Structure 1
Amino acid sequence: MDVLLLITVAALWGAATGLLVPRAAHRLSVEPEEPWRDRCPAGHVLAGPAGGWLGGPGRGECATAAPLMTPLLTALVCAALAAATGTPRPELAVWLLAAPFAVLLARVDARVHRLPDGLTLPLAAALPLLLGAAELLPYDAGSWLHALLGALALGGGYLVLFLVNPSGLGFGDVKLALPLGAALGWYGWGVLFAGAFAGFLAGAVYGLGLVLLRRADRSSAMPFGPSMLAGGLLGLLLGAFTAVP
């Protein structure tokens, strides 16, 4: 498949799935003890396919988000992954399937500092299984064993950090580290280290920026999920670009 066509198809997939993210993000952006929202910002019941979970961001007073921001972001993420991969390798399908959920997790965590179990735990189970299937197909450029070890290594590392300093890291971050470690570990230990380091660096830069802008201080709670995912994306781009089938 031509690279430009691959990127175009990936971008269209990202834009289409990104249209479904704002409603889900609106419904999931609640405190742990609160039920998921079932109404739009204007108070109307969110009805539609799959019990009201599927649907666009809405318009006017019913809009759950800016209508173009999330689809554009998801399209850019998917296009970048396709461009870095360069060919229709089987693992690219896994990355494209996971991308909308990663954007959804980042949006929810940015809004309410929460990574819902309903997203992180299925991803932790699904990603290794999908990568296992990808390894059975021709032209893959990774290792399922490394993916499993990467999930254990990154998840274990985050668990240690959580136990040492529970106030500095949420347990949702530990759960997110499992699928993130599997994705990065697919391309090897170097990519796993690079993606994990990039996540901490992104978090530090983000926190420092908020402090400098006086929008937070050193004791303020900050969402770490978006930084983890941003670092993971950079690691995946590196791994996909340098991988040899």
Structure 2
Amino acid sequence: MVEQGDGTTTGGPGAPWRTLRDRVAHEVGAAGPLARGTAVVAAVGAAWWSGPVWATPALVLAAAAGGLVAVVDARTHRLPDAVVLPAWAGVVLLLAVAAVATGDGAGLVRALAGGATGFAAYAVLRLAYPPGLGFGDVKLAGLLGTPLGWLGWSALAVGLVLPFLLGGLWALVLVAVRRARRDTAVPFGPSMVLGAVLAVALGGAIPGGAVPGS
């Protein structure tokens, strides 16, 4: 489920950044209008839900990346590194800024722990039963776990567990309507993203942090 990218490295001090930028642009362009539209809707929804707080940019980035890769995974069974990993790094950086601006060091610790917990828990499941998860799912769990951790431990716990229930139910529906067999691989990314959204919506998590500029 993981795309390794096909960008080429050029010389010069800015080459790594240009290569990363080109890989991200390539993936976003190749994702298609439905994926890009979903990313925009997810970003707007996250901004509306969060409001004008310091954590909003991080939540918007996570939502946009999650919306994009969920559609890509549903269509192609791929979770592109060129989107997931830069988004994860960007979310960590933006939450660090939010933590410094608001003095919420505990929130940043939760966010870092959430990302590490999501990555580690899904990595263990991947190693224990390789057909069940791909390494793309493991990395996406790290990305989603970071903002979930910032929002609270309960959001993190629900957001990491709920996808398995959603994925199982979706697989049963596909089998029931004869769109899949018991051994058919079903993309897990959409269930992970939807599980994170439901964990936040149903849990009533509050973003926290002061209004920028206040």
TM-score grouping bracket, smaller chain normalisation = 0.7 to 0.9
Which of 121, 134, 146 is 1:182 aligned to? 146
Q: Which runs of 4+ in 1 moved over 6 A?
A: 139-142
Contact 1:89 1:140 in 2 (8 A): no
Q: Which has the higher contact order (CA 8 A, sep 6+)?
A: 2
1:74 aligns with 2:24: no
Give the residue type in structure 2 aligned to 1:73: T
CA distance in 2, matches of 1:231, 1:206: 12
Q: CA deviation at 1:212?
A: 1.1
Q: CA deviation at 1:221?
A: 0.6
Aligned to 1:126: 90
Deviations 1:146-183 (A, max 9, x none): 00111111111101100110011101111111111111
CA distance in 1, matches of 2:60, 2:163: 20
Superposition RMSD on alpha carbons, in Å? 3.3
CA distance 1:201–1:64, shift in 2 (3 Å): closer
Q: CA deviation at 1:77?
A: 2.2
1:235 aligns with 2:202: no
Structure 2 unaligned regions, length at least 5: 8-21, 210-214
CA distance in 2, matches of 1:141, 1:208: 43
Contact 1:187 1:240 in 2 (8 A): no
Q: 155-164 or 118-127, which moves further after superposition?
A: 118-127
Contact 1:150 1:184 in 2 (8 A): yes
Contact 1:187 1:239 in 2 (8 A): no
Deviations 1:36-73 (A, max 9, x none): 8xxxxxxxxxxxxx69947x98xxxxx985x5x44653
What is the total number of aligned residue pairs between the two structures? 195
CA distance in 1, matches of 2:189, 2:127: 18
Q: CA deviation at 1:132?
A: 0.7
Contact 1:81 1:240 in 2 (8 A): no
- The TM-score normalised by the length of structure 2 is 0.76
Deviations 1:179-232 (A, max 9, x none): 111111011211101111222222112111111110001100111011111111
CA distance in 2, matches of 1:179, 1:162: 16
Aligned to 1:24: none
CA distance in 2, matches of 1:229, 1:184: 11
Contact 2:42 2:64 in 1 (8 A): no
Higher relative helix content? 2
CA distance in 2, matches of 1:52, 1:135: 27
Aligned to 1:110: 74
- Residues 92-111 of structure 1: matches in 2 within 5 Å? 92-111=56-75
Contact 1:80 1:237 in 2 (8 A): no
Contact 2:39 2:66 in 1 (8 A): no
Secondary structure of the residue aligned to 1:215 is: coil
Contact 1:142 1:188 in 2 (8 A): no
Q: 188-197 or 70-79, which moves further after superposition?
A: 70-79
Give the residue type in structure 2 aligned to 1:106: A
CA distance 1:242–1:146, shift in 2 (3 Å): same
